[in-house]
């Protein structure tokens, strides 16, 4: 089929290149949609933990899809298989696509080996949201925590992810920290790989042994 | 002296949903502020009916010896009105700015119930910043 002065026609939808699409959507539209999502879920639950879980589940579905899309679009169908690789992929690539900017910081937890934190001074989903005092430490960032969990889970790094408000000195508004705690098996696997690596290095014959 | 003395936001049925005092003089207690809000709501509605001009949207400005009352009504019927110093300039702009803050930080907040009193931390924060900015601009003029 030949297009008459039009863009190239593709007979098969699968031949069509995956367009980068429009990079931005209206923040207001998103804010209203997100607000409705929270309000709807509020009608379905009877405690805050449940609400947090439901928001996280909604985010999980987004995360799983985002991983699939970005691996195809940005990484040429390759996926990060290293822990730090996937974390920095979330911190930069995923954040940039979803929120238009790289996350403010990615840190390793000081107390536990298996914890990592992504901090954001003002999380996009929290931009217009004031959580009432009676809801305690509830954070709508649970949705973003769900996205992170979705990406990590899809990439084979199961983790427990949660969102917390952390007050900053000299600032009226607290920042949001996404706490990532990897499942035991991930850490075990990492240790296993490290161990095997060291055994391999130790076994490697040294040159001097062969040259008398 | 602050240009703006106090700010009221009333919902479409005349209930006071937000009240804030800025001046030190003439503080009102809760009952008085509620009374004033519903009084203004009724006066505004009556003025629309009494006006000789066609398509009148109600009182925008009430001038008295000791104060000016500027009123801004949104399309949905929510009214924002501020009591300020006589002859204070650019009050309509400030009220429109406050309306914008209301749409952002109140209406997009999932924990706010429509037509109910406004208790949103971010709205308070941004409102006080806007009023502060207005004061600084007034001093510079």
Query: What is the average pLDDT value for chain B, to the nearest integer?
Result: 90
Instruction: Count A/B contacts: CB-CB distance under 8 Å.
Output: 37
Bridge partners, residue A182, by sequence: A159
A12 touches chain B (CB under 8 A): no
* B4-140: CATH topology: Beta-Lactamase (3.30.450)
* Closest chain A residue to B105, measured at CA: A128
Percent of chain B with pLDDT over 90: 62
For B20-27, what is the mean pLDDT?
Answer: 76
The 3-state DSSP composition of chain A as helix, strand, coil percent (nearest 5) reads: 50, 10, 35
pLDDT-derived band at A22 (thresholds 50, 70, 90) equals: low
- Using the beta-carbon criterion (under 8 Å), do B110 and A39 form an inter-chain contact? yes
From CA B35, how far away is CA A158, in angstroms rounded?
A: 58
B32 touches chain A (CB under 8 A): no
pLDDT confidence of residue A196: 81
- For chain A, which domains are there? 25-201 (3.30.1380.20)
Structure tokens at B15: 């209930």
**Å between A129 CA and nearest CA of chain B:** 5
- Using the beta-carbon criterion (under 8 Å), do A140 and B125 form an inter-chain contact? no
Q: Residue with structure tokens 């009226």?
A: A172
pLDDT-derived band at A204 (thresholds 50, 70, 90) equals: low
Please give the sequence-ordered ranges of beta strands (E in DSSP) within chain B, or none if there are none.
Answer: 4-10, 16-21, 61-63, 68-73, 79-84
B109 touches chain A (CB under 8 A): yes
Spans of all domains in chain B: 4-140
The pLDDT tens digits of the residues spanning B122-139 come to 999 999 999 988 888 877
What is the interface pTM, i.e. ipTM, of the complex? 0.86
Does position A209 have pLDDT exceeding 60, yes or no? no
pLDDT confidence of residue A194: 80
Does position A20 have pLDDT exceeding 70, yes or no? no
Do A146 and A129 touch, CB atoms closer than 8 A? no
List chain B residues with CB under 8 Å of A54: none
Structure tokens at A181: 């705690």
The pLDDT tens digits of the residues spanning A59-72 come to 999 999 999 999 98
């Amino acid at each position: 089929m030949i297009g008459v002065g039009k863009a190239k026609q593709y007979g098969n939808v699968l031949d069509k290149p995956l367009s980068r699409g429009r990079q931005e959507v209206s923040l207001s539209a998103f804010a209203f949609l997100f607000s409705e999502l929270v309000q709807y879920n509020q009608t379905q639950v009877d405690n805050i933990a449940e609400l947090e879980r439901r928001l996280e589940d909604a985010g999980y579905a987004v995360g799983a899809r985002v991983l699939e899309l970005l691996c195809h679009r940005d990484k040429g169908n390759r996926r990060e298989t290293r822990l730090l690789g996937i974390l920095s992929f979330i911190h930069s690539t995923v954040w940039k696509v979803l929120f238009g900017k790289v996350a403010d910081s990615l840190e390793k937890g000081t107390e536990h080996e298996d914890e990592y934190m992504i901090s954001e001074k003002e999380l996009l989903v929290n931009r217009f949201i004031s959580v009432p005092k009676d809801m305690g430490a509830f954070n709508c960032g649970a949705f973003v925590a769900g996205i992170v969990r979705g990406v990590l889970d899809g990439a084979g790094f199961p983790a427990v992810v949660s969102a917390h408000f952390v007050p900053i000195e000299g600032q009226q508004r607290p920042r949001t920290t996404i706490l990532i705690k990897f499942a035991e098996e991930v850490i075990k696997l990492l240790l296993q790989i490290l161990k095997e690596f060291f055994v391999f290095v130790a076994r490697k014959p040294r040159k001097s042994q062969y040259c008398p | 002296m602050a240009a703006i003395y106090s700010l009221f936001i009333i919902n479409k049925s005349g209930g006071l949903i937000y009240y804030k005092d800025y001046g030190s003089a003439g503080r009102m207690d809760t009952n008085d502020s509620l009374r004033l809000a519903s009084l203004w709501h009724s006066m505004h509605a009556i003025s629309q009916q009494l006006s000789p001009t066609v398509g009148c949207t109600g009182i925008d400005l009430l001038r008295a010896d000791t104060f000016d009352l500027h009123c801004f009504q949104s399309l949905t019927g929510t009214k924002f009105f501020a009591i300020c110093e006589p002859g204070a300039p650019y009050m309509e702009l400030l009220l429109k700015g406050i309306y914008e803050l209301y749409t952002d930080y109140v209406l997009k907040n999932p924990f706010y119930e429509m037509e109910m009193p406004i208790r949103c931390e971010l709205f308070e924060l941004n409102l006080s910043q806007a009023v502060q900015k207005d004061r600084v601009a007034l001093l510079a003029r």
